[in-house]
């Protein structure tokens, strides 16, 4: 899951846009350099994982605007299903993967 919505099994965000996989996030190098003001010096991708039980995962979801905007009955239904499914797992845990791209560019001199 990433910014912009929930992720389905098809790897798409809720709005239909594809999510990047670890080490495959867009680096925007071409766009940065095409603007004519910067040269890309370095691009580094970072990936990490967090592990959650039901309560900590729901706490995380409560920070996302899409979940905040849900009707209470929708949130209650979703969170109840999350609790049910995680309780059925042997360890009761969910792993969530994250990624970020650090772009370093130098301003071109005229």
**What would the pLDDT profile of 36-93 be if each residue is shown by its tens digit?**
999 999 999 999 999 999 999 999 999 999 999 999 999 999 999 999 999 999 999 9
* Residue (of 25, 23, 7, 24) closest to 15 by Cα position: 7
pTM for this model (two decimals): 0.67
DSSP E strands: which ranges in the chain?
A: 38-52, 94-107
DSSP E strands: which ranges in 1-93?
A: 38-52
Query: What is the distance between the alpha carbons of residues 54 and 51, in angstroms, rounded to a whole number?
Result: 10
């Amino acid at each position: 899951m990433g910014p912009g919505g929930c992720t389905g099994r098809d790897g798409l965000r809720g709005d239909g846009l594809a999510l990047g996989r670890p080490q495959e996030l867009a680096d925007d190098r071409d766009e940065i350099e095409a603007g004519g003001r910067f040269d890309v010096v370095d691009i580094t991708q970072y990936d990490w994982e967090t592990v959650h039980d039901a309560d900590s995962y729901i706490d995380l979801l409560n920070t996302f605007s899409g979940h905040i905007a849900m009707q209470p009955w929708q949130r209650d239904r979703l969170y109840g299903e999350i609790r049910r499914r995680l309780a059925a797992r042997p360890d009761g845990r969910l792993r969530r993967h994250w990624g970020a791209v650090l772009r370093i560019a130098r301003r071109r001199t005229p």
